[in-house]
Structure formats: structure tokens, C-alpha cells
């Protein structure tokens, strides 16, 4: 096995270890999800700064105690994300989904980094909605907005959908297991269906009122624990009241 590795990656989590050092969790399209130690302000070792959400070409050295960060050729630090509480919370949720989902396909890397880029300029609710829609699609956990996945009946145009807690997806009124606690109105359903047809980048240009966007945002956050089979600490202990 090669002693050193070099490749495109993004810092997806950082954990302080010892006084000046940090354990970085990197998401890389070629290396997968890996950990590397970033040595801090020590006299003998040149410190390389790698703040959370820094994307670039990472040079890593394999030692007896694991990988060590040697150098970064940074593409973006996504600093605007860290400066805003809601954007930080969005990015934390995206990282949580990637780390809990444990897949590291290049398509997911593209989605993750595009979403962080988008967070810098776009509203956090819109980016979060589109990230969740496209993430669930990549993981094969997407809902069906044309027909009920339980009974197979096609939805009528004005139909309000219920939700199946066991299937983790929207369903018709007859298959609802939540007593109408998670309803999806027709216009929100149309928005989600259209989002799924578009790429992540294109879906950001869908026009929707702020109020409607907020409703869809809340709907996806409330249904996510049913749709995604993993514990999401970022939502449980996060700042959003949903
Ligand atoms: Zn049904």
C-alpha cells in the first residue's frame, strides 16, 4: 500500500484532540471517508490549517498512528457557512447524513460540495430542502409523488398525502399511519416532484414563496427521522425548532 495519499476532499467534521491538534474527518470522492490528524501550533511540525468545510487537494502521510495532514491546496473554505448559525446548522445536518449514511460515492461528494457552495449565496431553507430531496434519492429512500407506494393507486391532482411511519414515505389517505399529523398538500407535492426531476443545481432555481419554502422545509425535517434509518444528532440537539 502506498505510504502517502493525495486527493480531492472536504473536511466534514473536526474533533479536538490533545492541546493543539485536531482529528479531521475527510470526505473524498477517491479515498472515501477517512480520518487524518492535523497537528497544530507545535514548534517542530509545520501546522497546516484545515478549518471545517475546507475543500481542496489534501496531501496525507501514512504513519504508525494513522494518517497525518501534510498540506492542502484549498479550493474553498466555505467561510460564509461558518459565519451564519442557520447555514452552519444546515451544513452540520448534511455532514451528519453523509457520515451516518456511510456511503461515499462521487455523486454524493458532488452533492455535498455543491450544497455547501450554494449555502454561501442562497437561503439555508431552500438549500436544505434540495439537499434532503437529492440525498434521499441517491440513497434510494425517496418518496413517490405520483402514486401511493403502499397500495399503488395514482394520486389525483388535488390529493393531500398522508405519511407512513413504517415505510418512511408519503402515502395516500387510506394508507396514512400518522392520523394526519404529517400532511403534504398538492402544491408542496408538486414542488418536491419537480425537484426530484431536476439536478440539485437546477432545482435551486425553482420559484417558490418564502412561506411555502418554510413549510416544505419543516415538512422534510419532520419526516426525515422516518425516511432516514439513522440517528441524526444534528437535528436532535440542533438549533431549529421543528
Ligand atoms: Zn395507499
pLDDT in tens, 74-106: 999 999 999 999 999 999 999 999 999 878 899
Neighbouring CB atoms inside 10 A of 207's CB total 7
**CA 10 – CA 96 distance, rounded (Å):** 14
Share of the chain above pLDDT 70, in %: 96
C-alpha span between 138 and 107 (Å, rounded)? 8
* DSSP H/E element including 35: strand 32-38
Separation of 147 CA from ligand 1 center, angstroms? Answer: 8
Q: Which residues pair with 8 in a beta bridge?
A: 57
**Cα 211 to ligand 1 centre (Å):** 28
Q: Three-class SS of residue 74?
A: strand
Residue entry with cell 414515505: 169
Residue 200 CA, ligand 1 centroid: distance in Å: 29
**171-180 mean pLDDT:** 96
Task: Give the pairing type, strands 66-76 and 32-38.
Answer: parallel
Where in the chain do CATH 2.40.50.140 domains reside? 4-76
Give residue 183 CA to ligand 1 midpoint distance, Å: 14
Distance 70 CA to ligand 1 centre (A): 55
CA distances from 142 to 72, 95, 100, 110, 186 (A): 36, 19, 17, 18, 17
Dist. CA 144 → ligand 1 center (Å): 11
**From CA 79, how far away is CA 121, in angstroms rounded?**
12
C-alpha cell at 98: 453523509
- Structure confidence at residue 2 (pLDDT): 56
176 Cβ neighbours under 8 A, 6+ residues apart: 162, 163, 164
Q: How far is the CA of 145 from the centre of ligand 1 (A)?
A: 12
β-sheet bridge partners, residue 21: 17
pLDDT band at 43 (very low <50, low <70, confident <90, very high): very low
Q: How many whole angstroms from 213 Cα to the centroid of ligand 1?
A: 26
CATH of 4-76 among 2.40.50.140, 3.40.50.300, 2.60.40.420, 3.40.50.410: 2.40.50.140
Cell of 76: 474553498
What CATH number belongs to 79-236?
1.20.1440.120
Residue 227 pLDDT level (bands cut at 50, 70, 90): very high
* Span from the CA of 126 to the centroid of ligand 1 (angstroms): 29
- Residue 220 and residue 162 in contact, taking contact as beta carbons nearer than 8 Å: no
Tell me where in the chain the CATH 1.20.1440.120 domain(s) lie. 79-236
- pLDDT bucket at 242, cuts 50 / 70 / 90: confident
176 alpha carbon to ligand 1 midpoint, in Å?
Answer: 8
The average confidence (pLDDT) of the chain is 93
Question: Quick one: pLDDT band at residue 45, thresholds 50, 70, 90?
Answer: low
How many A from CA of 221 to the centre of ligand 1?
A: 22
Cα separation, 49 vs 54, whole angstroms = 9
CA of 173 to the centre of ligand 1 (A): 7
pLDDT value at 151 more than 70: yes
Given this model, what pLDDT does residue 142 score?
93
Amino acid at each position: 500500500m502506498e505510504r502517502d495519499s493525495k486527493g480531492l476532499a472536504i473536511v466534514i467534521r473536526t474533533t479536538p484532540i490533545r492541546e493543539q491538534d485536531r482529528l479531521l474527518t475527510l470526505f473524498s470522492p477517491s479515498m472515501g471517508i477517512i480520518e487524518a490528524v492535523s497537528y497544530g501550533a507545535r514548534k517542530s511540525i509545520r501546522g497546516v490549517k484545515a478549518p471545517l468545510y475546507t475543500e481542496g487537494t489534501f496531501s496525507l502521510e501514512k504513519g504508525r498512528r494513522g494518517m497525518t495532514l501534510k498540506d492542502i491546496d484549498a479550493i474553498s473554505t466555505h467561510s460564509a457557512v461558518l459565519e451564519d448559525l442557520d447555514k452552519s446548522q444546515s451544513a452540520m445536518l448534511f455532514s451528519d447524513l453523509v457520515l451516518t449514511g456511510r456511503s461515499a460515492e462521487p455523486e454524493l461528494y458532488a452533492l455535498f460540495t455543491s450544497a455547501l457552495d450554494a449555502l454561501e449565496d442562497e437561503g439555508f431553507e431552500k438549500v436544505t430542502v434540495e439537499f434532503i430531496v437529492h440525498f434521499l434519492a441517491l440513497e434510494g429512500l425517496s418518496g413517490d409523488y405520483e402514486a401511493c407506494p403502499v397500495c399503488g393507486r395514482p394520486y389525483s391532482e388535488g390529493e393531500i398525502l398522508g405519511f407512513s411511519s413504517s415505510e418512511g414515505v408519503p402515502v395516500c389517505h387510506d394508507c396514512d399511519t400518522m392520523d394526519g399529523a404529517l400532511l403534504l398538500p398538492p402544491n408542496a407535492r408538486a414542488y418536491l416532484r419537480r425537484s426530484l426531476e431536476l439536478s440539485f443545481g437546477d432545482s435551486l432555481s425553482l420559484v417558490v414563496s418564502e412561506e411555502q419554502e418554510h413549510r416544505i422545509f419543516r415538512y422534510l425535517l419532520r419526516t426525515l427521522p422516518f425516511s432516514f434509518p439513522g440517528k441524526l444528532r444534528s437535528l436532535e440537539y440542533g438549533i431549529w425548532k421543528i
